[in-house]
Chain A
C-alpha cells in the first residue's frame, strides 16, 4: 500500500533525472513523453512503493516534482483507486 504519492508539474521539468536516480524506493522513471519544451519528464512506475519522503522534491532543481505522505485512511482509497 502506498504511503505517499508524487506530484509532477511536467511543464517545469528539464529531465535532469535527479528524482529518478535518487528516489530511495525507485518509484520513478523518465517518461518517453515530451513536455512542450521537449524534455522527458518523469512518470510514476511504482506508485505503490512511494513513501512520500519528498526526496524527489528536495532534489528537483526545477521545482517540478514533490512527494507527499498520504494519511493512512486515504492511502487505502488511493491504492484502490489507482488509475
Chain B
C-alpha cells in the first residue's frame, strides 16, 4: 500500500532528526500520538501537535509517560496507527507498557531519543545507553524490534520502516535515536506519497463467528480487529489462549511466549538491516550504530589511509541482533571494534555472536559527547595487531 498523501510533506527540507521523525510518522500513517514532554525528544510531538490537525487525527499530551505509553495503545485498538516519544527517564516509565504491547500484540512505535543516564543524567546531551533497556526493559520473555537512525534523513525513512515492521509483526518497535541525531539539522528529502510503501494493519476479514483474536493458523502473526467492529473480542495482558481469554497453564504460556519470540526470530534475516563497507578484505570490523557510526567513519577512513584493513558494519536494526552476520564475519576477521556511547552494551552481543572466533574490543564512552575519532582509531590499530 502507498502512503496517504495528506500525511506526506513531499519536497526537500532542512530538518532536524526529531522533526524528520515526526514527518516519517505522518508519512507512515500515524494519526494519533500521546506524549509527555522530555528533553531531547519533545520536538517530535511538538511538530506532530502542529501538523496532525491539518492531516486528520489528534495528539494528546498526557499527564505522564505511563499514561502516554498506554493511551497510544488505546488509540491503536481504536483503529489508529499511533506512537509515543520520550527519552531516558520517560523510557524507564514506559517499560511496563512495552511488555503490554508485546503481550497483546499491539502494533505501535516507541521513539526514544537517548540522552545520558542513569536517572536524570544529561538531559541535553547524547548517549546510547538505553540499548539493553530497549531489548530487556520490561519483565518476562518477549521480543521487540529496534532501529537506530544515524541522520535526519534516516529519522524520516526508518520511522516509516518502524511503523511498517510494527504492523507486519504486530510488535512494539523501538526507534532508538540519540540526542545528536535528534538535534542535528540536515537535508531531508521526502518523496511523493506514491513512492512510499506503507504496511497496512493486518485486520481480520473473518466473520464474527469465525474470528479468534489470537489464532494464528500457521502464520505467527494473528489478525487484528478494532473496537467497534462488532467482534466483541477481549484483550488482556494475562497469559491468554486463542480466544484472548486468560488461561494460566504452563502449556498455554509456553505456546504464547514462544510464538511471541519466534514471530520475530524467524524473520530476523528480513528485519536485520545493516550497512556494510570494505568488509571483503577486512581484518578488523568496526561495528557501530546511530551517531557513533558517523564518528567511526572518520576513524575507519583514517585507518585505511594508514594501510589497515578495516571495514564497517553499521547496525540499522539493533534488535533482533544480527548475530548471523556477526558470526559469518567472525569466521574470517581478526577482531571487532565496537564504539558506543555507553560503557559496553551491544559489544556484549557482538562478543556473544562472534563466539570466540574473533576478538572483541569495546570503545566505551559514558556519554555527554560523541567519541573523539582518535579513540576509535587507536583501538582499530590495537585490534589490527592482535
Question: Taking the complex as a whole, does A directly touch B, i.e. does some CB pair lie under 8 Å apart?
Answer: no
Residues of B within 8 A of A (CB): none
Residue numbers of A with Cβ under 8 A of B are none
